[in-house]
A and B are shown apart, each in its own frame.
Chain A
Amino acid sequence: MTRTTKVSLIVNGKGHSLEVDNRTTLLDLLREHLHLTGTKKGCDHGQCGACTVMVDGRRINSCLTLAVMHEHNEITTIEGLGEPGNLHPMQAAFVKHDGFQCGYCTPGQICSAVAVLEEIKSNIPSHVTGDLTAQAEATPGELRERMSGNICRCGAYSNIIDAVAEVSGRKA
């Protein structure tokens, strides 16, 4: 057996087929092979959330998964959400509310935030959900808890929550 494997996946709607060293994380595939450098490498150990992307609609840490484990998966990165001139509502809300300072954690924050609102819609519970049998709601407390896997070294948290709350249709 070899130490490389062929993998085919779809990134931001575009198919890619490549042979990579088995050690390649999904994060390194995106950045080093596909040159999609919007997704950031922070801690590389799943602790900071800078590498958050969506795989088949669910957010994950792209640093703690191997590229070869994503055969036929659909990956969405920050580049796939929107681009200058055609921003995703979450991207626009981060700009409007000043939800960043240095910007390094921002792609991960935005991917996470988009997925958080979907998780609430799908009624996935969180640590602060009061009644497990009721529909989850996008309260500021829920948003803070659900966004806790994304660390912001500049401490833009309150503006980030304002941005996410606006997109959710509630005021923080």
Chain B
Amino acid sequence: MKAFTYERAASIEAATKAAEANPEAKFIAGGTNILDLMKLEIETPTHLIDVNGLGLDKIEPTPEGGVRIGALVRNTDLAADERIRRDYGLLSRALVAGASGQLRNKATTAGNLLQRTRCPYFYDTNQPCNKRQPGSGCSAIGGITRQHAVVGTSESCIATHPSDMAIAMRTLDAVIETVNADGVRRSIPIADFHRLPGDTPERDTVLEKGEFVTAAMLPPPIGGKHIYRKVRDRASYAFALVSVGAVIQSDGTGRVAVGGIAHKPWRMETADAELPKGARAASSVLLSDARPTDQNRFKVALVERTLSAVIAEAKG
């Protein structure tokens, strides 16, 4: 790991100012992703700003009838929260489908949204990777691509976003709140928060340098059956090959977002509209522009089957 200086930020303002002052600074929350990447020198910040002491660890009701989840709420606490379990069960389910008990005790809401891809070439500093080193090339294209994206890919990058939590937040239409060093606040709908790779895969999200996430807001509950189904190579403690987060109403209408297939949580309102017709109809809209490789073509069929199981579970 490269040496760095360290500070415990005393306020959100101090944290954003410190980030502005040093373009090579990074925030550290749970640390479970950034330290992993620092050990491998994939991330090499010269300064770490510890944001754990800022009191952003509360889950509060909003005047509109939704909830506001502080950026530093731990994944365990979010999954265990009574309101989340009752009104946003999909979010609890997605959280406990991810990582391990130990990791969820540290991982935070903001850190989870901002975790980086698990593309093995991104992790291997001996290989070209446009996300890690812009312009160096993409080793995955033409390489081993079983876990990679099948939709929304580009000539530069075919990585997926690995977060389970983000799939639930996309289904639930969360809004991400941020602030920068000038005190300018933004409310970013999660649909616009994560990016497609295009020709700048080094940028995972629309966050600007030094922009700080303060909270994730959930709109008022929408009822329905909340289901998160994750398909992976082992029954626990593995990233998704494909995951489906859905809220299905008793009349068969609903919403669905898919994980493991794209650079961002994959949802299309036009596919939601097809849900009452069944899994085939909805998944063919979701994957109409799919460009799988021979190694990950199975994901196309897997999305339909997983969605079909989700719809069956909702009816049962």
Task: Check B101 against A125 for contact (C-beta < 8 Å).
Answer: no
Chain B residues near A (Cβ < 8 Å):
1, 3-8, 28, 30-32, 35-36, 39, 47-48, 50, 52, 76, 79-80, 85-86, 89, 92-93, 96-97, 99-103, 105-106, 236-237
Cα(A64)–Cα(B32), bound, Å? 5
Nearest neighbor of B82 in chain A, beta-carbon distance: A133
A-B interface pairs (CB < 8 A), number = 110
Cα-based distance from A66 to B31 in the complex (angstroms): 8
The listed residue with most B CB atoms (<10 A of its CB), out of A25, A49, A60, is A60
23 contacts between A and B (CB under 8 A): A3-B5, A5-B6, A22-B6, A22-B48, A46-B100, A59-B101, A60-B103, A60-B105, A61-B103, A66-B35, A69-B50, A124-B80, A125-B79, A125-B96, A127-B96, A127-B97, A132-B85, A132-B89, A144-B236, A148-B100, A148-B236, A149-B100, A149-B103
Interface of B is mostly: mixed
Give the complex CA separation of A24 and B301 in angstroms: 46
**Closest Cβ neighbor of A68 among chain B residues:** B6
- Residues of A close to B100: CB separation below 8 A: 46, 49, 148-150
* Bound: A161/B8 CA distance, A: 40
**How near does chain B come to A49, taking the closest CB pair, in angstroms?**
6
Residues in A5-26 with C-beta less than 8 Å from chain B: 5, 21-23, 25
**Is A166 engaged at the interface, CB distance under 8 Å to the other chain?**
no
Would A149 and B237 count as touching, CB distance under 8 A? yes
Q: Is there contact, CB below 8 Å, between B4 and A59?
A: no
Q: CB within 8 A of B92: which of A5, A52, A119, A132?
A: A132
Instruction: Please give, as numbers and ranges, the residues of chain A lying within 8 Å of B80 by CB-CB distance.
Output: 122-125
- Residue A152 at the B interface, CB < 8 A? no
Min Cβ gap A22→B in Å is 4
Chain A residues with a Cβ under 8 A of chain B? 1-3, 5, 21-23, 25, 44-46, 49, 52, 58-61, 64-66, 68-69, 71, 112, 115-116, 119, 122-127, 129, 132-133, 144-146, 148-150
| Bound-state Cα–Cα, A22 to B5, Å | 7
Q: Determine how close the nearest CB of chain B comes to the CB of A141; give it in whole angstroms.
A: 10
Asked if B5 and A126 make an inter-chain contact with CB atoms under 8 angstroms apart, the answer reads: no
Closest A residue to B103 by beta carbon equals A46
Rank and list the top 5 A-B pairs by shortest CB-CB distance, nearest first.
A149-B100, A148-B236, A1-B5, A132-B85, A148-B237
Q: In the complex the two chains form, is B3's CB within 8 Å of A3's CB?
A: yes
Measured in the bound complex, the distance between the Cα atoms of B6 and A5 in whole Å is 8
Assess whether B101 is in contact with A133, with CB atoms less than 8 Å apart.
no
- Tell me the bound Cα distance from A22 to B39 in angstroms: 13
Tell me the smallest distance from the CB of B88 to a CB of chain A, in Å.
Answer: 10
| B5 adjacent to A23 (CB under 8 Å) | no
Q: Check A64–B106 contact: CB distance below 8 A.
A: yes
Please tell me if the beta carbons of A45 and B39 are within 8 angstroms of each other in the complex.
yes
Q: Complex Cα distance A71/B214, Å?
A: 23
Contact indicator B36/A69 (Cβ below 8 Å)? no
Assembled-state Cα–Cα distance A87/B257 (Å): 49
Q: How far is the CA of A66 from the CA of B34 in the complex (A)?
A: 11
If A22-B5, A145-B236 touch, does A125 touch B85 (CB 8 Å cutoff)? yes
Contact A64–B36 (Cβ < 8 Å): yes
List B contacts of A59 (CB < 8 A): 101-102, 105
